[in-house]
Amino acid sequence: SRMLSGYKPKNDVKDSYKVLELEEGCSLDDVRNSYHNLAKKYHPDSSSGMADSRAFIRVEEAYRVVLGDLAAKQKSDSGEEEEDQFKSKSLQHRHYLSFEGVGIGTPSQREKQYMQFRVDRATEQVLEYRQQRLESRYAGSDLSRAQDVRQSKKVKITQAVERLVEDLIQESMAKGDFDNLSGKGKPLQKFSHSPHIDPMTHNLNRILIDNGYQPEWILLQKEIRETIERLRKSIVASRRKLGEPMTLSEQKQWGRVCEQFAEDIRKLNKRVDNFNLVVPILSRQMVHFSTDKEILRARKTYEAVVEKVSDPGMKENRGEEGKRFGWKSSLLRWLKL
Distances (CA, A) of 232 to 2, 64, 167, 288, 304: 77, 90, 67, 15, 14
pLDDT at 274 over 60: yes
Q: Mean pLDDT over residues 10-16, rounded?
A: 73
**Do residues 229 and 261 share a domain?**
yes
Residue 326 falls inside a structural domain? no
Sign (positive or negative) of CA dihedral 223, 225, 230, 235? positive
pLDDT at 157 over 70: yes
Q: Mean pLDDT over residues 183-201, rounded?
A: 64
pLDDT at 263 over 90: yes
**Do residues 148 and 132 share a domain?**
no
H-state helical runs in the chain: 13-19, 28-42, 53-78, 80-88, 94-98, 107-137, 142-175, 199-210, 216-241, 248-278, 291-336
Of 128, 160, 175, the position where a domain reaches its end is 175
Residues 6+ apart with CB under 8 A from 155: 127, 130
From first CA to last CA, the distance across the chain in angstroms is: 117
Q: Which of 56-70, 201-215, 235-249, 255-269 has the lowest mean pLDDT?
A: 201-215
**Do residues 165 and 239 share a domain?**
no
Q: What is the pLDDT of residues 227-259, one digit of tens each?
A: 999 999 999 998 888 877 788 888 888 899 999
Say if CB 57 and CB 9 are below 8 A apart.
no
DSSP state of 138: T
Buried b (16+ CB within 10 A) or exposed e, 124-153: eeebeeebeebeeebeeeeeebeebeeebe
Cis peptide before 280 (omega within 30 of 0): no
Residue 201 falls inside a structural domain? no
Residue 337 falls inside a structural domain? no
Q: Range of 42's domain?
A: 13-75
**Do residues 285 and 305 share a domain?**
yes
Q: What is the pLDDT of residues 18-64, one digit of tens each?
A: 888 888 878 888 888 888 888 888 887 776 777 788 888 888 888 88
Say if CB 245 and CB 236 are below 8 A apart.
no
Average per-residue pLDDT for the chain: 76
Q: What is the pLDDT of residues 161-186, one digit of tens each?
A: 888 888 888 888 788 777 777 766 66
Residue 44 falls inside a structural domain? yes
Q: 5 falls in which pLDDT band (50, 70, 90)?
A: very low
Task: Quote the number of domains for the chain.
Answer: 4
Query: Higher pLDDT residue, 15 or 81?
Result: 15
**Do residues 225 and 301 share a domain?**
yes
Residue 48 falls inside a structural domain? yes
pLDDT at 323 over 80: no
Query: Higher pLDDT residue, 333 or 17?
Result: 17
pTM beyond 0.75: the answer is no
Pairwise CA distance, residues 313 & 322, whole Å: 14
